[in-house]
């Protein structure tokens, strides 16, 4: 047993030492992870700034000798980069909007109503997440084709919305579960309809979960390549992922332009993430809404 003040102090000191060592180890691991994440981004910047004759150089400098913005200019001049961006933006925004709207109502139904197949439905939704994307390509292609939506925005939007819906529904359902039912009941007594209670009370309280679902939908659709490759064949409809891939030739790849394009499409997503990181963290960890 620890009894004397000296012994207590010794135990406390040992405890503090352990905590300090833990903190150092945790930070070292996090810094390492950060570097791993940042390395490709930094390489991308570095390559995009290199003059044409030094693309394959093994130089590690972030700003290479003789740096120039020529790759950036060439992306705009020599490719349909702006069109690709526009296509991506339309598809991504509409997808996110539809995906979040459907998940918001679907998740509400799963959270609040008892109906036959409630549990089974949720389990099936989770099950779809276990199927690798590659396996879905052919069926997805066939469905989109039969719907006559090949090579259309709508085809892409349908494909993207439905694939990210299960995750969004789970996120929102989980969040709704933490909102006390009495709030909606109070609203019903106060004079709203069932939908009014959802729209005026539950939705405004769910902004953290809604933003997570939105970000998830947005990044999924923005970065997607495989489905786009299958659904889109007309270069006029290409998203930026397909467009940039075109820069890769069998014999010659425009690495400078490729890197410049990649950097420009990464920045918006990165900024959105940095901006919303607070909501993300609070949304993922925060439990209930306590009146």
CA dihedral over 228, 229, 231, 236, signed as positive or negative: positive
Beta carbon nearer to another protein, 54 or 112: 112
Beta carbon nearer to another protein, 102 or 289: 289
Residues contacting 255, CB < 8 A, separation 6+: 47, 55, 56
* DSSP bridge pairs for 253: 248
**Please, what is the minimum distance in Å from the beta carbon of residue 194 to another protein?**
8
DSSP 46-101: HHHHS-GGGTT-----SS-TT--SHHHHHHHHHS-HHHHHHHHHHHHHHHHHHHHH
Beta carbon nearer to another protein, 43 or 278: 278
Tokens, residue 124:
């099936």
**Please, what is the minimum distance in Å from the beta carbon of residue 288 to another protein?**
10
**Please, what is the minimum distance in Å from the beta carbon of residue 210 to another protein?**
13
Beta carbon nearer to another protein, 113 or 251: 113
CA dihedral over 90, 91, 95, 96, signed as positive or negative: negative
CA dihedral over 158, 161, 163, 166, signed as positive or negative: negative
Whole-angstrom distance, CA of residue 211 vs CA of residue 110: 19
**Please, what is the minimum distance in Å from the beta carbon of residue 208 to another protein?**
12
Beta carbon nearer to another protein, 104 or 187: 187
**Please, what is the minimum distance in Å from the beta carbon of residue 54 to another protein?**
56
Beta carbon nearer to another protein, 49 or 187: 187
Whole-angstrom distance, CA of residue 167 vs CA of residue 287: 18
- Report the b/e string of 150-175 with b at 16+ CB within 10 A: bebbebbbbbbbbbbbbbbbbbbbeb
**Please, what is the minimum distance in Å from the beta carbon of residue 290 to another protein?**
8
**Please, what is the minimum distance in Å from the beta carbon of residue 185 to another protein?**
5
Provide the CB-side half-sphere exposure for 248 (13 A, CA): 7
Interacting residues with another protein (CB under 8 A): 180, 182-183, 185-193, 196, 201, 204-205, 289-291
User: Residue 103: how many CB atoms within 10 A of its CB?
Assistant: 27
Beta carbon nearer to another protein, 78 or 185: 185
Q: What is the distance between the terminal CA atoms of the chain, rounded to a whole angstrom?
A: 46
């Amino acid at each position: 047993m620890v009894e004397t003040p000296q012994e207590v102090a010794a135990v406390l000191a040992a405890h503090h030492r352990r905590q300090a060592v833990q903190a150092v180890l945790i930070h070292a691991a996090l810094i390492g992870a950060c570097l791993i994440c940042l390395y490709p981004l930094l390489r991308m910047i570095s390559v995009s700034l290199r003059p044409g004759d030094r693309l394959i150089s093994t130089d590690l400098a972030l700003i290479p000798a003789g740096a120039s913005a020529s790759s950036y200019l060439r992306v705009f001049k020599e490719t349909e980069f702006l069109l690709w961006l526009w296509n991506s933006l339309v598809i991504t925004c509409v997808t996110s909007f539809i995906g979040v709207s459907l998940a918001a109502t679907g998740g509400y139904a799963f959270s609040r109503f008892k109906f036959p197949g409630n549990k089974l439905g949720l389990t099936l939704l989770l099950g779809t997440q276990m199927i690798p994307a590659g396996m879905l390509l052919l069926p997805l292609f066939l469905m989109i084709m039969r719907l006559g939506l090949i090579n259309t925005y709508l085809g892409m939007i349908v494909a993207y919305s439905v694939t990210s819906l299960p995750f969004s529904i789970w996120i929102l359902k989980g969040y709704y579960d933490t909102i006390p039912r009495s709030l909606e009941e109070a609203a019903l007594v106060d004079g709203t309809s069932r939908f009014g209670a959802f729209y005026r009370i539950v939705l405004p309280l769910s902004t953290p979960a809604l933003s997570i679902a939105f970000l998830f939908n947005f990044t999924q659709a923005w970065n997607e390549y495989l489905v786009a490759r299958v659904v889109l064949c007309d270069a006029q409809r290409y998203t930026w992922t397909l467009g940039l891939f075109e820069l890769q030739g069998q014999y010659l790849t425009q690495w400078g332009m490729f890197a410049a394009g990649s950097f420009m499409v990464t920045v918006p997503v990165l900024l959105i993430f940095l901006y919303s990181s607070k909501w993300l963290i609070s949304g993922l960890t925060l439990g209930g809404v306590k009146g």
